[in-house]
Chains A and B, each alone.
Chain A
Amino acid sequence: MLYKGKQKIWSDYQKEIPDDHWFYVRSCIRQNFFPASEVTFLRILRDELGKDIYETPHHTTCGGIAYHQECIPQETQMTIIARQFALMTEAGYENYACSCITSFGLYCETLETWHEMPEVLERIRENLWKACRREFNIPKYLAHSSDLVYKFRNEIAERAKYKLVNRFTGEPLKVVEHIGCHYAKMFPSKGVGGAEYPYVLVGMAESWGGNVIDYPERRHCCGYGFRQYHVKANRGYSVSNTHKKFESMEPYHPDFIVTNCPGCPYFLDRWQYVIAEQTGKTYGGDGQGIPVLTYEEMAGLVLGYNPWDIGMQTHQIAVEPLLDKIGVEYDESKKYEGSGGKPLPEPEFPMNIRCC
């Protein structure tokens, strides 16, 4: 497709994203896999950009994982979501931002269901009132947190300490962007750039100096797929999907992968270890893997945050080669130093993949 054509599609799928005053909800699994990413998001929005982002400890799961595994009925899941909206209403906010792609897809699905079937909305209001005596307003704007970072990408670029450029060659870093399936494949109009050409991560990477590579399996699932992973007997299917992506991107020699989903960075990161142990194959140079970052980590790196403060040591694939390419300063001896200087437990090293 001609570039002009892509530009046109992107302009058709530009999303209105309010400037300020957001009610923010965290992701269940991101808090466990990459906990510093959400902290980094809040640090960038609040401290760097001075935005009003509110979060509450009363927020719970959206029920997405159980819903997609058919463990809970849709009405129960919608009532859980109604409770989150009630928390937003009680806090006096109208703009709702979530950190999780699964949640984002589910919020879109729920809002669409309520729009199409107002009687369901009334039933959910009743359910919520009976369950916990709460009332809610439907958010005026719903966004994924990557939409917010995308919106402020130029402000972040102005404050950037580093660029996504290989300091040894002067070339832009080759970036693989991977969008979570539930971001725009379910409701294309809700994502920046739609389902075919989602621009949310491309916009960030390009604004910060990187070069996004296009490869055949670019829009393929990361392999998580809920039941494909959670049922152990199906995990071969999950890792095979991820394997297909890596085989497809390998000839382009990416410097790193960036994702906007909770599951994708985890599986693209951890499955590289599993593939290496099962087949002996690694996809980065020199026996290493391809580092996988969240978009908040990418933003944190260009802003010059300490890589160990933004959780780069929680990755399976070593990020040091990438940090060296960008020129990020770091102290290797402090990699496993927790808050207050308390040492964190150090992981065992795998056999077939080098981790520095």
Chain B
Amino acid sequence: MIDFGYTLSKSGTLKIENLDDSRFKALHKLEPDAYKCINCGSCTASCSAGVFTELSLRKILLSLQRGDEKDYINQLQSCMLCGKCMLVCPRGINTRHLILSISKIYNTVDR
């Protein structure tokens, strides 16, 4: 086999019938801005904690919207709540507050 420097990646197809979005709906009730995110990644690019850890708010929010948060939710424990992401968000989302609400609903605070 030849190494081209890239490989086939797994299909990201979602099975909507298996999607459990009950917690995301609860989050949306608390944080109406949760659907505003356009996944631009500005928050992740400006994140101080993201330099040293895997923390990526963009990936976390996307995984929450897709009901498949298990691989990413624990990343939130690296967040220092500095609020830099809030300053750069082009959609004006209060990301700091959003992170706290995610932690509350998805129980990452207790983990």
Listed in ascending order, the chain A residues whose CB lies under 8 Å from chain B are 232-237, 239-240, 243-244, 274-275, 277-280, 351
A-B contact pairs, 25 of them (CB 8 A): A232-B5, A232-B6, A233-B6, A234-B6, A235-B4, A235-B5, A235-B6, A236-B6, A236-B7, A236-B8, A236-B9, A239-B8, A240-B8, A240-B9, A243-B8, A275-B8, A277-B1, A277-B2, A278-B1, A278-B2, A278-B4, A278-B8, A279-B8, A280-B1, A351-B2
Assign chain B's interface to a size class.
under 10
Residues of chain B within 8 A (CB-CB) of A279 are 8
Grouping DSSP codes into helix (H, G, I), strand (E, B) and loop, the B interface class, with mixed when no group exceeds half, is loop
Instruction: Provide the bound-state CA to CA distance between A351 and B2, in Å.
Output: 9
The residues of A that contact B5 with a CB separation of less than 8 Å are 232, 235
A244: B residues at CB distance < 8 A: 11
New contact pairs (6) apart from A237-B9, A240-B8, A278-B4, CB-CB < 8 Å: A234-B6, A236-B7, A240-B11, A277-B4, A278-B8, A279-B8
Residue of chain A at shortest CB distance from B4: A274
Q: How far is the CA of A232 from the CA of B1 in the complex (A)?
A: 19
A239 to chain B, nearest CB (A): 6
Taking the nearest CB of chain A, how far is it from the CB of B1, in angstroms?
Answer: 6
Chain B residues closer than 8 Å to A236, beta-carbon distance: 6-9
Q: Which residues 1-28 of B sit at the A interface, judged by CB distance below 8 A?
A: 1-2, 4-9, 11
Contact with A along B25-45 (1 / 0, CB 8 A): 000000000000000000000
Q: How far is B5's CA from A1's CA once the two chains are assembled, in angstroms?
A: 43
Contacts of A240 in B (CB 8 A): 8-9, 11
Query: Which residues of chain A come closer than 8 Å to B6, judged between CB atoms?
Result: 232-236, 239
Inter-chain contacts of A237 with B (CB < 8 A): 9
Contacts of A235 in B (CB 8 A): 4-6
**Distance in angstroms between the alpha carbons of A239 and B6 in the assembled complex:** 9
| Beta-carbon nearest neighbor of A235 in chain B | B6
A280 to B8, alpha carbons, bound, how many Å? 13
